[in-house]
Copies of this chain bind each other. A is one copy, B any other.
Amino acid sequence: MKTSLLNEIPSTIEWKDNTIIILDQTLLPLETKYIHINTIEAMWDAIKRLAIRGAGALSVGAAYGIYFGIERFEGSKEDFFVEFDKKVEYIRSCRPTAVKLFKVCDRMTKVAYTNSDKSVGKIKEILLDEAHKILDTCLEKSKKVGEYGLELMKNNMTILTHCNAGSYAGVRYGSALAPIYLAREKGWNIRLFADETRPLLQGARLTTHEMMRIEVDVTLICDNMAGHIMKKEKIDAIFVGCDRMVANGDFANKIGTYGLAVMAKHHNIPFYTFINSESIDFETETGEGIPIEERPAEEVTEGFGTRTAPNGVKVCNPAFDVTPNNLLTGIVTEKGIIYPPFKEELAKKCLMIGDE
């Protein structure tokens, strides 16, 4: 694939002509539609109805949303701050459990008040700059994770992945799929097996779609086929994302990741997780300390509009599982690839006081 072709594919979230352009994820995989947003109300709505999702993209969207909220304000500085606070509260209300969203709201608030001695026009400029910075940092870290991941790759290799840890969960590159974008930019051919990832099918709906866009030779499988594929096909590596990592390298990721890691070990296949080091929780010692969210039974029994199990059946539907560090080959971060002993190496490379 030509680099130019890859560049022609818009990012999941992009700033262009004073507008944010986002890929509407609610229509995937059957329709690829971009929405142009330049009001706070439209951004609130896009975040609320999950047209934009994933911690990275969501925080970028929120920052621009706050800017749109005050962009056209005319009036005194005092009135400006009243208005600004209202807009921040409004954005904060759209996903009450998204921690990253609150962090961005706090960051934008801090920037505005720190510059309260400047003119309203200047504060607006500074807020727009801050949103750009959030986008750039997100993009840069995602690319950096990809660059380190690329060190693990070669032309014509075969990778297996789970869920969606790609562009659609981040900004341009995502995490576990980030090196595949860079490999395609180099013109390498990559073969990918994508687990469909029950119950919500992020692999079937999103991973296949974004990988087909960049002409990766992607094959969709059901989750229970992964073992058979590891035995029958030459799988060079398994790349997965990471929802939460603790101090010793144990990590939570989409349900099914742990089983894959066990099977990878049995087949001697290298197993890597990809993470922005900001998301590492050094306060928690081991994976035992990670609470597992239990989700509604209907996701399993009425997956796609059809009831497929008896009424009243008992269901277990954990959103995540925990993979212990001894099943991991390495952890790919924007600060480099971490190898065992994970606890010591993570602390050395990723736990930096005052690091942003």
Contacts and interface: CB of A to CB of B under 8 A. Distances in A.
B225 A311 contact: no
Given A204-B309, A262-B227, A301-B220, A196 B198 contact: yes
A318 interface: yes
A262 B266 CA distance: 7
Interface stretch (A82-90, A211-219, A348-356): A211-219
A189 to B, nearest CB: 14
Contacts of A300: 196, 204, 220-222
A301 B258 CA distance: 24
Given A223-B224, A304-B304, A305-B305, A310 B262 contact: no
A306 interface: yes
A335 to B, nearest CB: 30
Contact of A255 (B222, B314, B316): B222
Interface of A: 29-30, 162, 193, 195-199, 201, 204-205, 208-209, 212, 217-229, 231, 255-256, 258-260, 262-263, 265-266, 300-301, 303-318, 321
Nearest to A231: B258
B304 A224 contact: no
Contacts of A266: 262, 265-266
A201 B199 CA distance: 12
A222 B304 CA distance: 14
A247 to B, nearest CB: 20
* Copies of the chain in the assembly: 2
A318 B220 contact: no
A316 B198 contact: no
A316 B225 contact: yes
A311 B32 CA distance: 12
Contact of A307 (B30, B223, B307): B30
A201 B306 CA distance: 12
Given A198-B224, A321-B228, A218 B262 contact: no
Contacts of A307: 30
A280 B137 CA distance: 61
Given A208-B313, A219-B316, A308 B201 contact: yes
A193 to B, nearest CB: 8
- Cβ-closest 8 pairs across A and B: A224-B256, A227-B259, A304-B304, A223-B224, A228-B321, A198-B222, A29-B310, A304-B306
B221 A223 contact: no
Contacts of A306: 304-306
Nearest to A225: B255
Contacts of A201: 308-309
Residue among A162, A199, A313 having the largest count of chain B Cβ atoms under 10 Å: A313
Contacts of A205: 308-309
25 contacts: A198-B198, A198-B222, A201-B308, A204-B300, A208-B310, A212-B310, A212-B312, A219-B314, A219-B315, A220-B300, A220-B316, A221-B300, A221-B315, A224-B224, A225-B256, A225-B318, A225-B321, A227-B258, A227-B260, A227-B262, A227-B321, A262-B266, A266-B266, A304-B306, A304-B308
A222 B220 contact: no
